[in-house]
Chains A and B, each alone.
Chain A
């Protein structure tokens, strides 16, 4: 175990495994190229874009949009009822581009929480992007900076799930990058549309439809594959108990505390099992 943890290849493999995917990746250290890229030089931008893969990425993302449309509506309704202007609503969806953070920001601002607390809570909710970034990094490292920046901006839960699967299947940076761009770009555009629709027309949806339940369902669909072994299940259980036990804390600080407690519980469980 000690050897495995000191090995960055294994570390990244573990991180990827947490998304429910099991991918064999190359070494990260020392700038060694991934063995399956077979590309001796850095290709130019025009040499990377593949129209067919871009369209395939956008097309494969279409079913996920069905679930994300109501999620976007809920975010738009949340921003509107928290007193945001249409530009602030657009800023939330275009720049934050994270449903969970948008909803929590709207709730906290509406409740009059200090800006610093709102920012900190949204940041902690977005910590999972660090993990997605780590899992994506080996696949994107030979791309030009402009591509890497663009794809990083489009890195969401759903685009990550679709993109990492594609990288694993094709093992080809060029195809995977265009596929990811297609999936992410469609997602971003559809997200702006659904958040705007929620902002303007969300109130026509009756409350009895309980549309906001789509938010926990969306994260449940991401959570279940992440519960891949005993340690991750302990982390989830500890976070779940903590978030309920600490619910009385003001300004949804229970969210941050529960996250930290869950991560600590997972790490302790893993360390104990490794030591045994």
Chain B
């Protein structure tokens, strides 16, 4: 499949699926009760999916290379960001502190040699 066709197939299909997901309960199910098993499962979607997105970006320093150590700046910065998110519940503060912590740890590790 040519790459242009691949790109546009993905863009249009995922764009439509995203829109239908966003519209789902707002339009279709606005006046019908949500099936209880669906409601129970949906409750865990953010916790599970967001963790699945975040964790690999933090604990892998290279493809396939796990690093649970203070020498992994991303892990240290992410832990600091978790504390900020938990205490302040402020997304902007979380992102700003996380980036600042990452740069600080990277600089310290470089300075330490």
Q: Which chain A residues have a beta carbon within 8 Å of chain B's beta carbons?
A: 5-6, 8, 11-12, 14-15, 17-20, 28-31, 63-64, 66-67, 83-85, 88, 91-92, 95-98, 100-101, 105, 109, 115, 118-119, 122-134, 136-137, 140-141, 145, 148-149, 151-153, 155, 158, 161, 208-210, 212-227, 231-233, 235-240, 242-244, 247-248, 254-255, 258-263, 265-267, 270
Bound Cα distance from A258 to B54, whole angstroms? 12
Closest CB-CB distance, A161 to chain B, in whole Å?
A: 8
Query: By the criterion CB–CB under 8 Å, are A231 and B44 in contact?
Result: yes
- Residue pairs across A and B with CB atoms within 8 Å: the count is 316
Q: A5-B36, A115-B1, A263-B48 are in contact. Are A220 and B78 (CB under 8 A)?
A: yes
A30 neighbours in B (Cβ, 8 Å): 31
The SS class assigned to the B binding surface is: helix
Chain B: CB-nearest residue to A67: B95
> Closest residue of chain A to B9, judged by CB?
A115
CB distance A95 to B15 under 8 Å? yes
Q: Say whether, besides A232-B47, A262-B48, A270-B40, A8 and B33 are in contact (CB < 8 Å).
A: yes
Binding site for A on B (CB under 8 A): 1, 3-4, 6-15, 17-19, 21-27, 29-34, 36, 39-60, 64, 66, 73-74, 77-78, 81-82, 85-86, 89-92, 94-96, 98-99, 102-103, 106
